[in-house]
A and B are shown apart, each in its own frame.
Chain A
Amino acid sequence: MAQAAIELIGINKSFGAVRANRDINLEVARGTIHGIVGENGAGKSTLMSILYGFYQADSGEIRVGGKPVSISTSNDAIALGIGMVHQHFMLVDNFTVLENIILGAENDALLKSSIAKARSELDRLEREYGLEVDPDAVIEELPVGLQQRVEILKALYRGAEILILDEPTGVLTPAEADHLFRILKQLKEQGKTIVLITHKLREIMAITDTVSVMRQGTMVATRTTKETTVGELAELMVGRRVLLRVEKGESEAGAVKLSVKNLTVKDSRGVTMVDDVSFDVRGGEIVGIAGVAGNGQSELLEAISGIRHAVSGEVMLDGKPIDLTGKADPGELRDRGLAHVPEDRHHVGLVLAFEENENSILGYHDDERYLKGPFLDVDAIMADAKDKIEKYDIRPGNPRLKTANFSGGNQQKIVLAREMEQDPGVLIVGQPTRGVDVGAIEFIHKRLIAMRDQGKAVLVVSVELDEIRSLSDRILVMFAGRVVGERGPDATEGELGLLMAGVEHQEAAE
């Protein structure tokens, strides 16, 4: 048997009353891809953070290459050849791609030679793995999909022997994910060891050699991938049977609630991101927008929700126009029944430094329910937060906990709970289940469909084709800022994939 690259023995870690890891044993063989799955809050990220030196275990031992090691900072981990791509990007927003890549690896004061070296190295990596990004683009101007690429490049640049990826495919399309997997396989062939955390069981089946399942802080099973099934893994994770595709009836589309006409949006550099887009969303239907990340979906959502200035076009909410000058008051749009779950929950949808209950009113803090005159009605806010925690099974169920300390999936539930519980007439959702476990996906999908059945108009933007296909009554595909096709819910993956790649669009242009 191959020698173990990493061994974790009896790892325990508590955060106050929360036991994030209990007696975890894990062995990862050298030159393999090892998957870790588990519900939101199961402790996956915590375990990997211990391995990467972000947290110290309360007890337990770590061995790398057979030798017991102590890892107290991420520098120790890097020195041991461990690299990590985080679930939540660790990029400096106002640095360029290149600057982010060399951050922490600079080796002379003037940076001149490191920059030149990094540039050629980056170029090589980009070509080798087909991970194109403009090295001089500023991170905050890149859509999340591309930011992810930078994270991956950053880890590769450090030349790690053991690579930990915490939900790397969260924002990638299946095609992009396949691409990433080709890279991972290549790395594996070169003898590198990969630990992959993901909520997508399909990915586990496709790429891993072995898979471990965590539940509520414990390691419940380890399987050889070839000998297990998606159904078994889902059941091990959640402890019950899970519906992988939610049932839904026929839609009964009513009046048009949201209407977008000839909308054109440019980004801060003047590049056209949304190009003459028109569509309607009716009450009682879910319209899904599919597309590879970075094809204008983010900008479209932002323009519709009044956050971003649109160059031209018209958006009507219940027959009345929305101010598209970029000065629209999102608060007023909320009053008119428009709820928005933004794609970027960390910078936009949540204030991570706030307590959970404070985030559960973000954007609705003007609402009388939460106020007593100019004062916050703390009791009402708390009761409301507890109510949502209960309904959406947000864990840990402590409304005083700082939001940054919730696991990714639970943070997403905080945003969803806030927006869905307002009972909006129109709900627009960016990446509804990014980083959310199978059990919670089932739950969120059921909720979205229930909203549809109540006659609400729902617009979903997702890079998950599966999600788009199982939720949508109509599917629009965006490519290079344009809507390049509309399909019914029975469109095949291949058909949509071609549209997303712009194939038909290019043919039409010729």
Chain B
Amino acid sequence: MTTPQLDGGFANLSHDAAHAFRAALQAMARPGRIEMLALARPPAPCSQAAGALILTLCDSTTPLYLAPSHDQPGLREWITFHTSAPIVRPEAAMFALGTWDALSPVDRFAIGTSAYPDRAATLIVEMTSLATKGASLRGPGIKDRAQLSLPEIAAFQDNRRRFPLGFDCYFTCGDRLAGLPRGAIVEG
């Protein structure tokens, strides 16, 4: 008998985590570039890319918020079994998973402190499509300009205004992954 929430983890723990991290690193270092990440098979509605991010970055020391779009028993059990990450409210989360609408209002999430700006949340935003078109991006990691199909503009402009404080985002869709650090300058 197989229990669905036990399946779908990394087949080769250290190699798969290494590949997944490298994709996550490249995505955060080069906003507007889409990486492929298909190493995990989490229960619905979680995408493969979001599942791999969680397996790679989360553990018992990283409180995780599941937005209503993703707060479902099968996914909760899968995350708990594979990572032991405590499921918490938005304000206490180091990571958060959900659709943009379900994660909003995003001003609930930790943005770090002036002494420790690293103590900020990372949002994993599940998208119905993810493409290198739409909002215009400038800033670190970007040669001239890039484009990314962001779910909105204003929230990322507000986030940039608080730099070096702010949350950082991953956008996931199926096996596709993109990153948006807080310092990105987003224009319509």
Are A and B a genuine interacting pair, yes or no? Answer: no
